[in-house]
Amino acid sequence: MTDDDGASGIHCRLDELLAERGMTLARLSELVGVSVVNLSVLKNDRARAIRFSTLTAVCEALGCEVGDLLARA
C-alpha cells in the first residue's frame, strides 16, 4: 500500500552504506553498470521499483545483504 504522496514505505539506506564504505555513487555506478542518475533515484528514495539483478549487484558491490540496503520506513 502506498501513501498519498507516493511513498512506498521502503527506505533505501544506500547513502549510509556508501558513507560507511567511503565509496562514491560514481564508483558504485562503475561497479554495478547502472547509471549514476538511476542510483541517485534509488539513494534518494524516489525509486518505484528495482530489478533483482540490480539489487544483487549493488549488494555484492557493497558487501551487504538486501536487508542492510532496504528497510521499512
Q: What is the pLDDT along the chain (73 residues), one digit of tens a residue?
A: 444 455 679 999 999 999 999 999 999 999 999 999 999 999 999 999 999 999 999 999 999 999 999 999 8
- As beta bridge partners, residue 72 has 10
Measured between alpha carbons, how far is 10 from 31 in angstroms, rounded to an integer?
24
Predicted TM-score (pTM) of this structure: 0.86
Domains of the chain: residue spans and CATH: 19-68 (1.10.260.40)
DSSP per residue, 18-70: HHHHT--HHHHHHHHT--HHHHHHHHTT--S---HHHHHHHHHHHT--HHHHE
Sign of CA dihedral 3, 5, 6, 8: negative
pLDDT value at position 1? 41
Three cell numbers, residue 51:
530489478
